[in-house]
Structure 1
Amino acid sequence: MATVDITREHNLGKEVARERAQKLADKLAQKLDAKCTWEGDDLLFKRSGADGCISVSEDQVRVTVKLGLMLTPMAGMVKGEIDKALDKYLS
């Protein structure tokens, strides 16, 4: 099992960062058929073969994704896609 863990600093404030995290989650839900739910400042997502969390704070967003055995070979691609999405949503 592989884990992708990316932390990005931002200066958007927590509320704007939460809104942008929700947009990212909406994209995940559409592309990957993932189920997304908020628990406090953590947006949890789950689908077959992968689950993770987008944690939002006042000045950081952390994305952690645990990939199942079948998706482990795609860890590099998943990390690249998350990096691109964070660039887009946090700028």
Structure 2
Amino acid sequence: MADISIKQEHQLPLQQAKDAAQKVADKMASEFEMTTQWDGDVLSFKRSGVAGTLALRDKEAQIDITLDFLFKAFASTLEEKVARNMRKFFAEAA
């Protein structure tokens, strides 16, 4: 079960949604030193202590993040940053 789960509605065609998701991933990768990889419409990301997916669906993107014990203390801060990036990049792409 994910420690952080955020749904972001959007009105973007799939390619624009993928571009927005990639921007979210790039931001997370630079801030948190994560690696990312696409598998169809699902972007997986990970680093030591943090792993998750950003799944694109029709009119919705959902990010699920699992944190290890040490990162759970920062869950609310991480959730706030990720939610802000999701809103920003999916709105910019529209």
TM-score, scaled relative to structure 2: 0.91
Q: How does 1:10-89 map to 2 (within 5 A)?
A: 10-89=10-89
Q: Distance in 1 between matches of 2:87 and 2:13?
A: 16
| 1:2 positional shift | 6.3
CA distance in 1, matches of 2:2, 2:24: 21
**4+ residue stretches of structure 1 with deviation over 2 A?**
none
Which residue type is aligned with residue 28 of structure 1?
M
SS in structure 2 at match of 1:76: helix
Percent identity, aligned pairs only, is: 30
| In structure 2, C-alpha distance between the alignment counterparts of 1:22 and 1:68, rounded to whole Å | 24
- Give the deviation of 1:14 after TM superposition: 1.4
Distance 1:71 1:16, change over 3 A: same
After superposition, give the CA deviation of every residue in 1:13-38 in whole Å (9 maximum; x if it has no partner): 21101001011111111111101000
Question: For structure 1, which runs of at least 5 residues remain unmatched after alignment?
Answer: none
**Partners of 2:27 and 2:81 in 1: CA distance:** 12
SS of residue matched to 2:11 = coil
The alpha carbon displacement at 1:58 in A equals 2.2
Q: 1-side partners of 2:67 and 2:51: how far apart?
A: 7
Q: How many residues align?
A: 91
Give, in whole Å, the separation in 1 of the partners of 2:23 and 2:8.
16
Contact 1:2–1:75, Cα closer than 8 Å, also in 2: no
